[in-house]
Amino acid sequence: MTFDIVTTMVIKKLEENKIEMMKTAICRDFYLSCKKKTDLKIGMELERLPIYKNSYQAVDYFGANGMYRFLRQLAYNDEWRYITDLNFINGLKKSDTTITLEPGGQCEYSLSPCDNLFQLKNQVESLDNKVLPILDFLGISMLEYPITPLTDGRNIEIIPKRRYQTMAKYMNGERCFSMMRETAGIQVALDYTDEIDAMQKYKIAMMISPFITAIFANSPIRCGKITGYKSTRALAWLNTDEKRCGLVSEKIFDHKQNFSFSDYVNKVFSVPLLFIQRDNKIIEIGGKIDFEQFALNGWQEHSATREDYDLHATLFFPEVRLKNIIEVRNQDCQKGALKYSIPALYKGIFYNSDSIQNIFELLKIFSYKDFQELRYNVPKSALDTKIGKKRVLDYAKNILNIAFQGLVKLQNDEEKFLEPIMELTYDGLCPADIILKEWEKSKHNMSDFIEYVRLK
């Protein structure tokens, strides 16, 4: 072999070793995030939709009474620190809690991790008490509803945050515009004790994800009309950038194989890379290469860094995401007490080893193909969706009962948070069914609908 060929081979081997070192470091951080069983906490991210009281249209960012003014007023009233991008305010921070804007101006509470659900509820109520007077002053209603009920996302501008603007430019999927600009969900964060525990929770969270979508389906009305779907929000996610959304890997559902930290990292490396950031500047890549290719060959004069991976990993949107916590992401926003039923369900299942095993025994008969088909069918028919010879409703009741018993065993009196959704489900209903009944009763009166779903 010539000197040039040997040199090229050596350089390639060094680059491959560099990639493996980066992957090892990422997995090491997962290990370092493991908690003791006595230290497990639960977190929640809660998104809501701001609309103008007089028109019911989505609140814009720059308007005289828009979301920019809302953030400034809240910061002034309650001493929050600004989160900015190129001097535009897109969020506020205080201690471990943030209030941020999603791409279409949706408002998100990201709560401090809590020991119990009572603390989560107290956090939400405390923030609501600070926010509601400002909203009222600005003529804004905040909806506890998962999709803008009147404004089409194509008429909603992306807020001035470069990350979101680049995402909107390059993420594909015919309903990506709807997902980014119109939707609001609830996410739950769970701790893990070791890799086995993390991957077991990850697997079970993926298995139950379409069932949870059905149980909490809550978005049947969009653009002032019945859509024909119980969760129009879930429909939007089904049609958003297939390579960075969904169930991640068939391997997760193969019970003869183990899915590991390393498997998850390899999956993230295979996702198309949208952009990197250097010296506070966005460098657009637009999905032309995946992160593995970037790590191996670089992009123009730029080499891959750990910071690049961390940014890239936040642009991966599966039903369940692995970080220093396990993040379950597939629930419609809920009103009133129902919003606390979501973290209650997950705590009852994932913080009790018997509950985890019982869920596995309940659902292990289904294949990856079954879960894929179910994921595509539940947005339309929710609890009435068929899987095998039964309806989702039959499994939903069992899932909720397992979660309830898990909470009872924890002896914190938290099972009461699960009761609102259990009452609905045991009547064969999801939240969307109640909305549809109210919609028909009011003869499609938007004012009555807004009154029903607005934050009070």
The CA distance from 206 to 251, in Å, is 12
Mean pLDDT on 237-242: 93
Interval 23-81: pLDDT, tens? 999 999 999 999 999 999 999 999 999 999 999 999 999 999 999 999 999 999 999 99
Sign of CA dihedral 191, 195, 198, 202: positive
Mean pLDDT on 186-193: 98
Highest mean pLDDT among 1-10, 17-26, 152-161: 152-161
Whether 269 shows a pLDDT value over 60: the answer reads yes
The CA distance from 23 to 291, in Å, is 12
Mean pLDDT on 434-447: 96
Interval 301-315: pLDDT, tens? 999 999 999 999 999
Q: Both tokens of residue 411?
A: 């002896």
> Using 50, 70 and 90 to split pLDDT, how confident is the model at 8?
very low
Mean pLDDT on 264-269: 97
Mean pLDDT lowest among 12-21, 48-57, 68-77, 364-373? 12-21
The CA distance from 210 to 55, in Å, is 35
Would you state the pLDDT for residue 3? Answer: 44
The CA distance from 70 to 74, in Å, is 6
* Helix or strand (DSSP H, E) at 247: none
Whether 220 shows a pLDDT value over 60: the answer reads yes
Beta bridge partners of 226: 221
| SS3 (DSSP) at 299 | strand
Give Cα 35 distance to the centre of its chain.
Answer: 22
Mean pLDDT on 237-246: 93
The CA distance from 336 to 385, in Å, is 26
The CA distance from 392 to 386, in Å, is 6
Burial 97-111 (b: 16+ CB within 10 A, else e): ebbbbbbbbbbbbbb
Eight-state DSSP code of residue 304: P
> Using 50, 70 and 90 to split pLDDT, how confident is the model at 10?
very low
397: CB partners within 8 A, 6+ apart = 425, 426
The CA distance from 210 to 375, in Å, is 5
Would you state the pLDDT for residue 6? Answer: 41
Whether 338 shows a pLDDT value over 60: the answer reads yes
Whether 5 shows a pLDDT value over 90: the answer reads no
Mean pLDDT lowest among 101-105, 132-136, 241-245, 425-429? 241-245
Mean pLDDT on 420-445: 97
> Using 50, 70 and 90 to split pLDDT, how confident is the model at 135?
very high
> Using 50, 70 and 90 to split pLDDT, how confident is the model at 332?
very high
pTM to 2 decimal places: 0.94
Q: Both tokens of residue 97?
A: 């809690």
* Percent residues over pLDDT 90 in the chain: 94
| SS3 (DSSP) at 67 | helix
Mean pLDDT on 147-153: 97
Would you state the pLDDT for residue 330? Answer: 87
Give Cα 205 distance to the centre of its chain.
Answer: 13
Whether 397 shows a pLDDT value over 50: the answer reads yes
| SS3 (DSSP) at 164 | helix
The per-residue pLDDT of the chain, averaged, comes to: 95
CATH number of the 33-271+316-453 domain: 3.30.590.20
> Using 50, 70 and 90 to split pLDDT, how confident is the model at 18?
confident
Sign of CA dihedral 321, 45, 89, 323: negative
Q: Both tokens of residue 381?
A: 């028919």
Cβ proximity of 344 and 407 under 8 Å: yes
Cβ proximity of 449 and 438 under 8 Å: yes
* Percent residues over pLDDT 70 in the chain: 96
Would you state the pLDDT for residue 31? Answer: 96
Would you state the pLDDT for residue 17? Answer: 80
55: CB partners within 8 A, 6+ apart = none
Beta bridge partners of 141: 51
Interval 71-92: pLDDT, tens? 999 999 999 999 999 999 999 9
Whether 14 shows a pLDDT value over 90: the answer reads no
